[in-house]
Amino acid sequence: MPTSSFQPVLDRIAADIAASPGRGRPADYIPALASADTRRFGMAVAELDGTVYGVGDWQHPFSTQSITKVFTLALVLSLDGDNLWEHVGREPSGNPFNSLVQLEYENGIPRNPFINAGALVVTDRLQTRTGDAAGALRSFLRAESGNPRLTFDEAVAASESAHGDRNAALAHFMASYGNITNPVPGLLGQYFRQCSVEASCADLALAAGFLARHGIRADGSSLLTRSQAKQVNAVMLTCGTYDAAGDFAHRVGLPGKSGVGGGIIAVVPGRCTLCVWSPGLDERGNSVAGVAALDRFTTLTGLSVF
């Protein structure tokens, strides 16, 4: 299928997967997300020059949740370089995103930056570097998306904070190994704000553009080296959808990162970035309709890394 414009392919995907929105369940362990309408569906594709195509609810803001972990990782790599990899691994965990079991065996070093434990380490380092990790993330997302209204949903952050015992346990446990250095309560506040960012498919497809441009930001400046951009994409491919990463790679064949708000971003290096949203999740926390739509995209266009 020609890809001079992505609009026809997006329209076709929306028709092809029309039975999928409504399937799955919203994340209910964060009460503020439990009432999300699983029938909603949106998808956007951003080309390297910032041209965006979309279908369905592609301009509707949703809770980005773990998708933000890609951006905090990139910010820490840009500020701190390879030091990060002494504090967090880059292997798939094979466990759920909020699992505690590997941490003790592995001396408080999380398997990868996308499980919650690893993301807490990344946010801790961003907090040390910037003094306001969530604020640094928001500034970056605003600049890359061109959306100055993009911000946190404080109600979602408060809701997660009130039910955040598992993330608190992870953070305190890692602090006992010296792998978290900021006071845990403040760090958790930063992390919950980070996860509460509201953004649309269009915003996120644009904001992830640096990953398709080999590290180059929307204004032409460099965030990451080409090699670092490759590394972030590789960790997305192997770890971005947690214990479903193998299945996601098999079906979609692109680096991708999901969030329990129902969003998924994906990257075609050198070509475009995608974001899809539909709040119904499968049992591993990935959007049912989102994975189906990305699967259709790579099947119809042949645009995959394989």
Question: Which residues are tagged catalytic?
Answer: 66, 69, 191, 242, 260
Residue 137 CA from chain centroid, whole number: 12
Q: Under the criterion CB under 6 A, does residue 161 sit at the interface with ligand DON?
A: no
Q: Under the criterion CB under 6 A, does residue 258 sit at the interface with ligand DON?
A: yes
Q: Name the region of 22 (left: φ>0; alpha: ψ -120 to 50; beta: rest).
A: left
Shortest reach from residue 2's CB to ligand DON, in Å: 33
Residue whose beta carbon is closest to ligand DON? 66
Stretch that binds ligand DON, among 17-25, 122-130, 231-239, 257-265 (CB under 6 A): 257-265
| Options 72, 116, 159, 233; binder of ligand DON; rule CB under 6 A | 116
What part of residues 175-204 is at the interface with ligand DON (CB under 6 A)? Answer: 195
- Concatenate the DSSP letters of all residues of 11-79 into one string: HHHHHHTTTSBTBSB---SSGGGTT--TT--EEEEEETTS-EEEEESTTS-EE-GGGHHHHHHHHHHHH
Q: Under the criterion CB under 6 A, does residue 99 sit at the interface with ligand DON?
A: no
Q: Under the criterion CB under 6 A, does residue 285 sit at the interface with ligand DON?
A: yes
Residue 230 CA to residue 237 CA, distance in Å, equals 11
Q: Under the criterion CB under 6 A, does residue 98 sit at the interface with ligand DON?
A: yes
Q: Under the criterion CB under 6 A, does residue 266 sit at the interface with ligand DON?
A: no
The 8-class DSSP code of residue 199 comes to: E
Shortest reach from residue 223's CB to ligand DON, in Å: 23
Closest CB to ligand DON among 10 and 197? 197
Q: Under the criterion CB under 6 A, does residue 65 sit at the interface with ligand DON?
A: yes
Closest CB to ligand DON among 195 and 237? 195
Closest CB to ligand DON among 9 and 70? 70
Residue 236, classified by CB atoms within 10 Å of its CB into exposed (0-12), middle (13-18) or buried (19+), is buried
Q: Under the criterion CB under 6 A, does residue 36 sit at the interface with ligand DON?
A: no
Q: Under the criterion CB under 6 A, does residue 152 sit at the interface with ligand DON?
A: no
Residue 76 CA to residue 122 CA, distance in Å, equals 7
Q: Which residues pair with 53 in a beta bridge?
A: 45
Residue 86 CA to residue 104 CA, distance in Å, equals 16
The 8-class DSSP code of residue 168 comes to: H
Interacting residue ranges for ligand DON, rule: CB under 6 A: 65-66, 97-98, 116, 160, 167, 195, 258-260, 285
